[in-house]
């Protein structure tokens, strides 16, 4: 079953959602077989559970979970695109899904209940972009250090930081 | 005629202006202690990036750090007296490095190896320490990206000279460290080698 047929199955099962297939790489003039669909955040877990469990789709594996900040991106309407890369080992097909959320309170339901491996990847997205995953069992920062307040992969974050590296305390014999 | 020995810069028998050896026994003992200490530096390799590869090359047979008595890489800070910080250090890694430095027993010296450890290098970003000397004493900076093994050997030799001249001075006495910078050395000039018929000068 090809990815187009997967999208057809999705459209039949969820007629209320628009699963218009888009190429994953849109700005370059290259042909790609990587196809992306949009899923609204309020029905994300429902759709993902269906994609994993249905006989025809069987996406057992969540290859990657990441995020894109579309701030000042030409033609973009929403800011954060949480991106899911799915792979079916049974049928050998792939699907990309994006879930768009916005400031000031970007929130996406967690998919740790569908794929437990999403745990750390969602923590990384939370750490780098500040997208909160509702229902996540352990939503802490994963890469940056204790006391770090910013979200460094947001496009409006300066590369050299907001003074965090200068304010970091020196460890002494007394303080350690 | 017995002269009071000054603080020795060179060997005690050279400090005497006469033809015969005049020195004090404790200075002589001190000299031999420092001599043996400088020729048996035990480095702790804190290698976090590509400088670590050059550090390994320096310790391996071609460049052979064992010629300077510094080949015994100790992975426990309790057994080491020379910390070689090779590679970039993130803010999150910095407490680890500071703790390792504090766990080393006196006397202890620090080499900051490579552009990243010295200044942050090209990684002028929010998560990278812009020079480990902001957080801990540094005795010798070794420049390069990464430094050639010869340059690192220069750095080790600078530490040896410090040990020879100063002996044991506690790191607290030394404050921020000596902060010596090493001149960058380059490899053999191949064209010159060809001109001289393969003989290297």
pLDDT at B198: 46
C-alpha–C-alpha distance, residues A50 and A166, integer Å: 48
Does residue B155 lie in a domain region? yes
Q: How confident is the model at residue A176 (pLDDT cuts 50, 70, 90)?
A: low
pLDDT at A161: 86
Average pLDDT across chain A, whole number:
89
C-alpha–C-alpha distance, residues B87 and B131, integer Å: 10
Identity of the residue in A161, A171, A173 whose CB atom sits nearest the CB atom of B126: A161
Q: Is the pLDDT of residue B59 over 60?
A: yes
Lowest model confidence (mean pLDDT) among B85-94, B134-143, B175-184: B175-184
Does residue B191 lie in a domain region? no
Does residue B54 lie in a domain region? yes
Q: Is the pLDDT of residue B160 over 50?
A: yes
**Across residues A15-23, what is the average pLDDT?**
86
pLDDT at A164: 84
pLDDT at B16: 57
Identity of the residue in A150, A168, A171 whose CB atom sits nearest the CB atom of B91: A168
Query: How many separate domains does chain B show?
Result: 1
- Chain A nearest C-alpha distance from B44 (Å): 20
Range of the domain at B157: 43-167+174-181
pLDDT tens digit sequence for A107-134 = 999 999 999 999 999 999 999 999 999 9
What burial letters (b/e) apply to A125-164, b meaning 16+ CB within 10 Å? bbbbbbbbbeebeebebbebeeebebbbbbeebeeebeeb
Could you tell me if B94 lies within 8 Å of chain A, comparing CB atoms? Answer: yes
- Chain B nearest C-alpha distance from A144 (Å): 7
C-alpha–C-alpha distance, residues B123 and B130, integer Å: 8
Architecture of domain A3-134: 2-Layer Sandwich (3.30)
Q: Helix, strand, or coil here: A141?
A: coil
In chain A, where the domains are located: 3-134
Residue B148 sits in a domain of what CATH number?
3.40.50.12280
C-alpha–C-alpha distance, residues A126 and A128, integer Å: 6
A172: CB partners within 8 A, 6+ apart? none
**Across residues B50-58, what is the average pLDDT?**
92
Does residue B29 lie in a domain region? no
Residues of B within 8 A of A151 (CB-CB) are none
Q: How confident is the model at residue B181 (pLDDT cuts 50, 70, 90)?
A: confident
Could you tell me if B124 lies within 8 Å of chain A, comparing CB atoms? Answer: yes
pLDDT at B13: 57
- Chain A nearest C-alpha distance from B124 (Å): 6
């Amino acid at each position: 079953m090809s990815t187009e047929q997967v999208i057809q199955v999705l459209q039949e099962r969820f007629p209320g959602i628009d699963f218009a297939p888009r190429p994953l790489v849109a700005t370059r003039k290259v042909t790609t077989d990587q196809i992306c669909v949009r899923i609204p955040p309020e029905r994300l877990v429902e759709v993902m559970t269906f994609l994993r469990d249905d006989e025809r789709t069987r996406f057992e594996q969540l290859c990657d979970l990441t995020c894109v900040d579309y701030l000042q991106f030409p033609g973009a309407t929403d800011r954060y695109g949480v991106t899911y890369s799915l792979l079916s080992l049974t049928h050998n097909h792939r699907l990309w899904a994006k879930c768009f959320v916005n400031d000031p309170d970007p929130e996406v339901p967690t998919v740790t209940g569908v794929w437990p491996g999403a745990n750390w990847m969602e923590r990384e997205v939370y750490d780098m972009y500040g997208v909160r995953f509702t229902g996540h069992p352990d939503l802490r920062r994963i890469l940056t250090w204790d006391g770090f307040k910013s979200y460094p992969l947001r496009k409006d974050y300066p590369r050299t930081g907001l003074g965090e590296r200068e304010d970091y305390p020196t460890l002494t014999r007394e303080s350690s | 005629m017995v002269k009071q020995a000054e603080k020795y810069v060179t060997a005690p028998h050279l400090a005497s202006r006469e033809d015969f050896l005049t020195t004090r026994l404790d200075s002589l003992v001190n000299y031999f202690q420092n001599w043996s200490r400088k020729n048996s530096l035990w480095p702790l390799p804190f290698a976090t990036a590509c400088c670590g590869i050059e550090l390994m090359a320096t310790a391996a047979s071609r460049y052979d750090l064992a010629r300077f008595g510094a080949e015994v890489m100790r992975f426990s800070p309790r057994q080491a007296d020379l910390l070689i910080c090779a590679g970039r250090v993130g803010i999150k890694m910095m407490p680890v490095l500071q703790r390792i430095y504090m766990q080393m027993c006196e006397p202890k010296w620090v080499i900051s190896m490579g552009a990243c450890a010295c200044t942050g290098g090209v990684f002028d970003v929010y998560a990278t320490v812009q020079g480990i000397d902001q957080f801990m004493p540094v005795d010798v900076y070794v420049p390069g990206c990464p430094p050639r093994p010869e340059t690192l050997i220069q750095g080790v030799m600078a530490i040896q000279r410090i040990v020879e001249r100063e002996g044991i001075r506690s790191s607290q006495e030394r404050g921020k460290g000596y902060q010596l910078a090493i001149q960058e050395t380059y490899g053999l000039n191949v064209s010159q080698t060809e001109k001289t018929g393969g003989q290297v000068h």
